[in-house]
Structure 1
Amino acid sequence: MTSSASATLFLLCGTWFGGAWGYTIPQGPADAVRRGAAINTTRAGFLYGPAVAGGPLYPSGILGQAKIAADIENEQLETTPNTVLVAEDKARASSSAEQYQGLDTFEEYLLLYQGQWAKTLPKGPAPGVLTNYTQDLFFSMERLANSAFSVRRLPRSSELPFQVEYPIVSMVTGSSLSLQKLLQDGRLFYADHRAQAAWPKTTNKFAAACDAYFYISKRGQFLPLAIRTNVGSNLIYTPVDEHADWTLAKIMFNVNDFFFAQTWHLAATHEIVQIAWMAAIRTLSIEHPIYALLDRLTYQLFAIQPLAQSFLFDNGTAFDTLFPITGTGARNFVTELYFNGTGAFKEGYFETDLKKRGLIHGDGPKLAHFPYYENASTIHNAMRSFMRAFIKSFYKSDRAVQGDPEIQAWAAEANGPAKAIGFPSKFDSIDGLVDALTHIAHLVSTVHHSVNTNNLLSISATLPMHPASLYKPVPTAKGITSVAQYLPPLFDPFKTILVAFADIISSARPLIANSTRSLSYMFDSPTFLNGSNRETRTAATNFKEAMFAFSRRIQGRTFDKDGLSQGAPFIWRALDPTEAPFSLTI
């Protein structure tokens, strides 16, 4: 290896503090030529290789492999203590079988949480999960909090995906409104998981392929209207069905939504950021401030794909043992999602996505409460404020942005060899650059951690309402007498429950809470700030203080006089900046 390549390897995988001169953008043609020589060395050793766990390209070449190894080492150092906590909680749970009373009834599944999982989820499930879990409002408001990426408002001109008879709609809504009238009023919402029916199934695990309607009631609440199974007898369930039937219908939808969230988030966060970072490594000098920023935001990023393959997709791992669709099917589903819209960079911008799905500024009544948006927008605004201060400290005008050959090369690389989808074709302005960088920060934090990490164990994978699969085939007729028979059994084998919890709690990161790995410290890092300037350091301090203040607000939330928090019968704290990480995890 040449001395130049050795230096590049160290700077890619080691620690660089910006040198005595600090981060700089190219200072004229001569400086661009000097920096370009080092960039070319990186390009020769950091190459595009085939995908490892579905989706876009993945690093190869001597520098690419070294960067992967460094990310994996960092990830393992961080998660090893967490693994010890998981093992302790699993051992305690396995010795408590008598406590669970056989899990013969629906309510006995709540016993799984009594005195358990204290190391990995010290605060327990989200307030309301163990008391209000059967409420329809709980089920519907999850679509606006911890699982906010599968639902959309139907445009008034839409054709109805399926029909529900007027008398039933009237009974559900308590009004004279028909399904067509709800549509015309802009009050009808839809989630569609029918595509899951086509993928290969695991043995002895079952699922429907639900689509569902939600609506805004005359009182302004966001509520469920109907769930269709799309398998077998293709039954349509509504809240006026018998309690057991309707409860199972909500569980069947949750099974589909759980699978969707776990596959979708890989395509929508990890893989979008991965390909943008690869293009940046091959085009930005390590002296560039944006390189330093992206290096911070992508901490451990390249560890995710090999871990996902070995932990989620390989034969006999998480998808094969817990979910109704095989690991191979799940990996291919991720790839299909990525290349069929989910992987589009600019289309996923925070408000762009929510507007496109009619969840904000929609053609109809405003959602009275939208917990995901309310939480994420506070963090997003703070991230954007940091990015604006950061970028303006290096670029004094739009012309300066246009004249930076490295960031223009980043855009060209992303749209060329990297084959990124919907990435800016060029950077014309400070605002455009701020938008792109804010979006990357948004993906690694306020998107990812709303559906994964601590969110899983606290609400999105809690039993009895959120199993990863059904354990009996989808009913062919209504009139079931026991919901528990469809849930993971305690025995036959007992490991079913333990495997499920162990895999879920492995995603939790309790040791990150109140540490410098938390979201509050996203920009407050000596490695990043030592090479930066006064404006950037001030902006990082302002961001951290804003996050501490927001965390206090989140931690102070309680139920109001109606037993609700942000319109939901649970308190959602997944985006607490002192507990969520500042970067992607698995």
Structure 2
Amino acid sequence: MKPYLPQVDPNPNIRKDELVKNREDYKFNHDYLAPIPVIDKVPHQELFSAEYTAKRLASMANLAPNMLAAKARNFLDPLDELEEYEELLTLLPKPAVMNNYKTDSCFAEQRLSGANPLAIRRIDSLPANLGITNAHFQKSVGTESNLEAALKEGKLYLLDYPALFDIKGGTSQNVRKYLPKPQALFYWQSNGVANGGSLHPVAIKLNNDAGTDGLIYTPDDPYLDWFLAKTSVQIADGNHQELGSHFAYTHAVMAPFCIATARQLAANHPIALLLKPHFRFMLFDNDLGRTHFLQPGGPVDEFMAGSLEESLTFVVKTYQEWSVDKFVFPTLMKSQNMDDPDVLPHFPFRDDGMLIWNAIHKFVTDYLQLYYKTSQDLSEDYELQNWARELVAQDGGRVKGMPDKIETIDQLIQIITVVVFTCAPFHSALNFSQYEYMAFVPNMPYAAYHPTPESKGVDMQTIMKILPPFKQAADQVMWTHILTSYHYDKLGYYDEEFADPLAQELVVQFQQNLHDIERKIDIRNQTRPIPYNFLKPSQIINSINT
């Protein structure tokens, strides 16, 4: 399809009629998941293709026999040892994290290259009422430094989940669920290894629902007490990841862009052509999530920690924190205070993410400059200006940080780069990392099934009561596999070539840049504590369709 800006299209009436029809087919609904805008009814052209459906089903061929085998092994036999969770993965790939999830190094490394690298931030001051003292610090990392010096040196990092603290817990199979309320402090310890140091846990505070001070745990505590504290962090982090970082920050925030693009940009608009592969199947995938995952009795209700209402309230809170300008990737890293490799030399999500961000930014820049030569080209593109207005409008996309008028090419480049980056690498890193870190349930359970003890001295029997019972654990394995087993395509490789030969040349250059990035990441992975593969271009899909 030959690209045209609307002001120079030789057939303006054809594209006008197309958009009139699209506005009937693509309508915003602000009530289904209020106030998040979603598609009212998914148009037929957005459904999964027969090929997609067949290949995705094929990718799950081992799932049913695996779950039958797990059920046969555990019929009427409660899980009473951590190792028994391995039996839920009899015919499925074994995540590498199974081998070392109990170690402090694995626990700390998951903050930097795990399933939820958006949670941690570097801090310059300790939060009020955290209660972690220099005595805790020196007990954990030694007396060669102290808490005050570590703060001044920029070596302290915090996990905190205040938006989750309103979740009191739901029920699953008539069993009460709980969400621990942890805060965790980490220390970057410089040393002579290849990456220049490593992250170490200092202490974990488990806050009490009763509003009391809570307990502070350190690696010096008895093994099971410390394991309980780390598991509590993992439960909170898993809920934050699934509902916030993953669903709200990718699926929910990108849907308005897809809807507005169909409604306001003709199919042969250069931006519509560029974004088409990055929106493929997203609206249908999101709608399946809304009608199956986010309904009473669905997966979120059944095995995330909160009640369905509590979980959806958290989704809305997280969604409302998102804005286009904040999620420019370098800006996002800066907002976490995690942007400086001189201060934090090892952060694979940031380091590989910057390579991909820069490659996408260059591709988008070069592509848009093919069609927008002057500011007049922008101002006269009435479809683009309508698109911007609808994305901002309260009866439209409600997108924060979005201008209601595109005035400069740099402004447009940034917006489109955020969209492509969010739909492709950002979503892929958050989606496909789930299997490695959540399929083996003791590493990152979705909920606790017993209150966190209010005193130390926990035993293994209590730990096993806290961890998910068989049915809920099996469901976690099943859904994690369903969400991660299939890669539809890979970044920069599109089903259709661009009709404009100059645009297609840019795609080929983009692919070459991505190939170079893959090699760089492979080299980096040779000296990392564990390989970080989730931002390798070959592992990134173009769109949010899983």
TM, length-normalised to structure 1: 0.82
Gaps spanning 5+ residues in structure 2: where? 192-196
Match of 1:571 in 2: 531
Q: Are 1:541 and 2:508 an aligned pair?
A: yes
Shift in Å, 1:65: 4.1
Deviations 1:302-329 (A, max 9, x none): 1133322333222222123222212232
Match of 2:178 in 1: 206
2:545 aligns to what SS in structure 1? coil
Q: Are 1:498 and 2:504 an aligned pair?
A: no
User: What is the alpha-carbon distance in structure 2 between the residues aligned to residue 275 and residue 172 of structure 1?
Assistant: 47
Match of 1:371 in 2: 348
Shift in Å, 1:476: 0.8
Match of 2:225 in 1: 245
Shift in Å, 1:51: 4.3
User: What is the alpha-carbon distance in structure 1 between the residues aligned to residue 270 and residue 206 of structure 2?
Assistant: 51
Distance 1:88 1:547, change over 3 A: farther
Match of 2:489 in 1: 518
5 Å-filtered alignment, 1:93-108, equals 93-97=70-74, 103-108=79-84
Match of 1:228 in 2: 205
Conservation of the 8 A alpha-carbon contact between 2:445 and 2:468: no
5 Å-filtered alignment, 1:69-468, equals 70=47, 76=53, 79-97=56-74, 103-110=79-86, 112-113=88-89, 115-117=90-92, 121=93, 124-126=94-96, 129-146=97-114, 147-156=116-125, 159-160=127-128, 162-203=130-171, 204-219=176-191, 220-232=197-209, 234-264=214-244, 265-339=246-320, 341-342=321-322, 344-361=323-340, 366-416=343-393, 417-418=395-396, 419-452=398-431, 454-468=432-446
User: What is the alpha-carbon distance in structure 2 between the residues aligned to residue 319 and residue 77 of structure 1?
Assistant: 26
Q: Which amino acid aligns with 1:519?
A: K
2:185 aligns to what SS in structure 1? strand
Shift in Å, 1:496: 3.4
Shift in Å, 1:30: 8.2
User: What is the alpha-carbon distance in structure 2 between the residues aligned to residue 176 and residue 439 of structure 1?
Assistant: 43
Shift in Å, 1:253: 0.5
Conservation of the 8 A alpha-carbon contact between 1:210 and 1:228: yes
Distance 1:373 1:250, change over 3 A: same
Conservation of the 8 A alpha-carbon contact between 1:489 and 1:496: yes
Q: Are 1:42 and 2:22 an aligned pair?
A: yes
Q: Are 1:508 and 2:465 an aligned pair?
A: no
Distance 1:75 1:275, change over 3 A: farther
User: What is the alpha-carbon distance in structure 1 between the residues aligned to residue 145 and residue 60 of structure 2?
Assistant: 53
Conservation of the 8 A alpha-carbon contact between 1:251 and 1:466: yes
Distance 1:155 1:318, change over 3 A: same
Conservation of the 8 A alpha-carbon contact between 1:164 and 1:179: no
1:348 aligns to what SS in structure 2? coil
1:501 aligns to what SS in structure 2? helix
Shift in Å, 1:353: 0.7
Match of 1:583 in 2: 543
1:280 aligns to what SS in structure 2? helix
User: What is the alpha-carbon distance in structure 1 between the residues aligned to residue 62 and residue 81 of structure 2?
Assistant: 29
Q: Which amino acid aligns with 1:206?
A: Y
User: What is the alpha-carbon distance in structure 2 between the residues aligned to residue 304 and residue 333 of structure 1?
Assistant: 21
5 Å-filtered alignment, 1:59-78, equals 59-60=39-40, 65-67=42-44, 70=47, 76=53
Distance 1:295 1:77, change over 3 A: farther
Q: Which amino acid aligns with 1:507?
A: L
1:198 aligns to what SS in structure 2? coil
Shift in Å, 1:161: 5.1
Conservation of the 8 A alpha-carbon contact between 1:24 and 1:287: yes
Match of 2:194 in 1: none
Distance 1:485 1:47, change over 3 A: closer
Distance 1:537 1:89, change over 3 A: farther
Distance 1:538 1:559, change over 3 A: closer
Shift in Å, 1:24: 1.0
Distance 1:27 1:225, change over 3 A: same
Distance 1:460 1:181, change over 3 A: farther
Conservation of the 8 A alpha-carbon contact between 1:238 and 1:246: yes
Distance 1:293 1:509, change over 3 A: farther
Say how many residue pairs are matched: 529
Conservation of the 8 A alpha-carbon contact between 1:457 and 1:504: yes
Deviations 1:204-231 (A, max 9, x none): 2222111222222243422222211212
User: What is the alpha-carbon distance in structure 2 between the residues aligned to residue 180 and residue 350 of structure 1?
Assistant: 31
Distance 1:457 1:29, change over 3 A: closer
Q: Which amino acid aligns with 2:433?
A: N
Distance 1:499 1:463, change over 3 A: closer
Match of 1:15 in 2: none
Match of 1:4 in 2: none
Q: Which amino acid aligns with 2:108?
A: S
Distance 1:430 1:248, change over 3 A: same
Q: Which amino acid aligns with 1:500?
A: Q
Q: Which amino acid aligns with 2:27?
A: L
Gaps spanning 5+ residues in structure 1: where? 1-17
Conservation of the 8 A alpha-carbon contact between 2:440 and 2:477: no
Match of 1:470 in 2: 448
Conservation of the 8 A alpha-carbon contact between 1:52 and 1:306: no
Distance 1:558 1:448, change over 3 A: closer
Conservation of the 8 A alpha-carbon contact between 1:54 and 1:332: no
**Percent identity of the aligned residues?**
22
Conservation of the 8 A alpha-carbon contact between 2:239 and 2:446: yes
